[in-house]
Amino acid sequence: MRVAAFQLDATLGSPQARFAEIEACMARAAGADLAVFPELALTGYGAGPLITDAATAPDEALTPLQSLVERHGTAMVIGLAFREAAGNAVNAAAILRPGAEPTLYAKRMLYGDYEKDLFEPGRAEPPIVDIGGLACGVLVCFDVEFPELVRSLALRGAEAVIVPTALPRSPGARFIAEHLVPVRAFENQVFLVYTNHCGADSRFAYQGLSSIVAPDGSLLAAASDTEAAMLVAELNPSAYADCRAQNPYLEELRRAGLAPKCD
């Protein structure tokens, strides 16, 4: 499966400018099976109450994005906010595929008072969908820092975990991007696509350092901490069969009866 991950500049500003950039990125991703964009890519992460003020029902938010997916024949995972039927705003990822109904996932682990004041936490388990013949699980930003969530996806059969993120700049954030993310891939023997913003908006400066990581923890592609970028990589599970054999964490958990039972 060929993936293109887009690290976006936080200075893009308005939703109109952001959609135009996403549209241009989808054209650049021609030939990829999947294009990945950051958390809250349509509004920007730091837009505060403007995010929830603009949040609509999923159908309204997703229609123009689905049109891009159909036009280019490339699936998309993108961060956005929408309102649930009960009226709550959630920080979500949308998985859009040509000819298929959208799949939505609401972020379960909200980070800090900023997110908790804006959103309700998701309750549903992260989805796994087929993209380009690969079983892809989806999380959002802070979710990936909880090993239980990535492990659950791996035990359920995910071969790749796609993570739109908005990681603000800090010494701890650099450690997360450069060390924690590769460890999550290695300890679960999955590909991990971690897609961040760079630059700054009115509230936050972002760490950048988006990456596509292989099951052996190696970087297949990586962005700088300052510049917008398109990362491209081929995700081929069979190329890492030896690594899985040498590091059979999931198999041994099942053998020891320590793995939760998954349908």
State yes or no: is 141 an active-site residue.
yes
Q: Which candidate in 25, 115, 136, 141 is catalytic?
A: 141
Q: Which of 39, 115, 145, 159 is catalytic?
A: 39
Question: Which residue type, as a one-letter code, is found at position 250?
Answer: L
State the Cα angle at 52 between 40 and 64, rounded to 5°.
55
Cα 187 to Cα 25, 237, 256: the distances in Å are: 32, 15, 17
As annotated, the active-site residues are 39, 107, 141
